[in-house]
Each structure stands twice: as C-alpha cells, then as structure tokens.
Amino acid sequence: MAEDRVFLITGASSGIGAATARHAAGEGYRLVRGARSLDRLRTLAQELGGEERAVAVQCDVSDWEQQQALARVAAQRFGRLDIAFANAGFGAPRGFLASDVGHWRSMVLTNVYGVALTIRATLEALRETQGHLLLTGSVAGRRALRGSLYSATKWAVTAMGEAARQEVHGDGVRVTVIEPGMVDTPFFDQGAGAGALQPDDVARAVMYAVSQPPHVNVNELLVRPTAQES
C-alpha cells in the first residue's frame, strides 16, 4: 500500500486519467486530480475515498498559472509529491487537408505545451522525493500516421520524456512514457472499434510502471490491443 504517497494526474475526469485515479486510490495513494471539468472530478471523488484523499482541482493544462496551482495543492494539502502523470490530451482523426486549424492550435497547446508545463510544475518536487514522472504518449508517437498532426504531438511527448529523463538522471527520478494503441475513450467521437483497449487496461500499465523497485525505470511502455496491426 502507498498510504502516505501522493499521485497527481492531469486529464483525470474521464478515460485513462479517471481509471488511473481509481487504481491508484485502490492502492492507497492520496490523489491530486486536475481537469477542466470540476463537476466530473467532484462526482468521481466519492468512489476515490472522498475529497480529503482525492482532491479535485480545475485545471486547463495550457495555462501556466493553473498548472502551478495544481502542483501547489500537493504541497499544501499533503506536503509532498511522489508521482506526476501528465495525461491530458486530445486529437481528431482528420488529416492536414480536412482539419480545422483552430483545432490544431488547441491540440498542440494541450498535447505538447501542456505536457511541458506539467513537467515544469512538478519536476522539482519529484526530485525532492525521488519520485516518478509519467507522460501519456501513443503508438502514434512511435510511428508517423498519415496526415496526422496528432501523431506529431505524440512524437513530441516521446522526445520530452527522454529529455526529462536525461535532465534528472542521477537524481533518483524515474520517467515513463505510456504509449497506448487504440483505446475506447472520449478521444474517439465514433468509438475506437471492436477489440480496443479499455482505460483500465492502460491504468494497469501505469500502475505496473510505478510499482517497480526504485532501481528499475520503465522508460517506455507500449500497449496495443491484440487486434491492432500497427
């Protein structure tokens, strides 16, 4: 159990973030959960042990002040931060010829800039506890997808994970990029298709990485559905 350890999650109101919060709460972690929808976070709090152990904080990850406020909650409420999971992100299945360029801006701000802000807001606290930084990447961050700016944003996440790992090498901080394939989450407007991963599948991968002994750093963890070819 991890009764005194603190786990911060962005994008925690649904999908992989909410599933990870449930698994972490089940293992005794205290939670700091950020998302744009405060109502959803509060609704989930009761199944996570209540707001005393699963704090809900409204946070747009593309806003630096809100990211700083999220990280401060961990210090002020619990006195420490052990795990930070930069999970917030979104995309769309449209290519360069059909995408709304306004959508691009929001996606890059969330998927790239937002992840960088989470790293910046939490990394010093993780150095103090020799903690663990996790980022939600994607299979799309390992191979380029035709016409996909989303894929490019996830390549950036892969690079940020390695860059952060190198920066804190020697400080005892572990860094993991979780790279799911097709997942049945709100990301896909029309569903992810039969055989897709469920958010719980990815959450178990997250908990596998954080459960390793301190000398083991699972740098990348790629999880595809058995039925997914590429």
150 is catalytic: yes
Helix (H) or strand (E) holding 165: helix 149-167
Q: Six-digit token pair at 171? A: 């400080």
Please report where in the chains the tokens 């690079």 appear, as a residue: 159
Helix (H, G, I), strand (E, B) or coil at 216: coil
Q: Burial level of 181, CB count in 10 A (0-12/13-18/19+)?
A: buried
Residue 159 burial (CB count, 10 A): 14
Pair 126, 175: CB distance under 8 Å:
no
Q: Are 104 and 98 in contact (CB under 8 A)?
A: no
- Residues near 187 by Cβ (< 8 Å), separated by ≥ 6? 15, 90, 91
Contact 210, 134 (CB under 8 A): yes
The catalytic site residues sit at 150
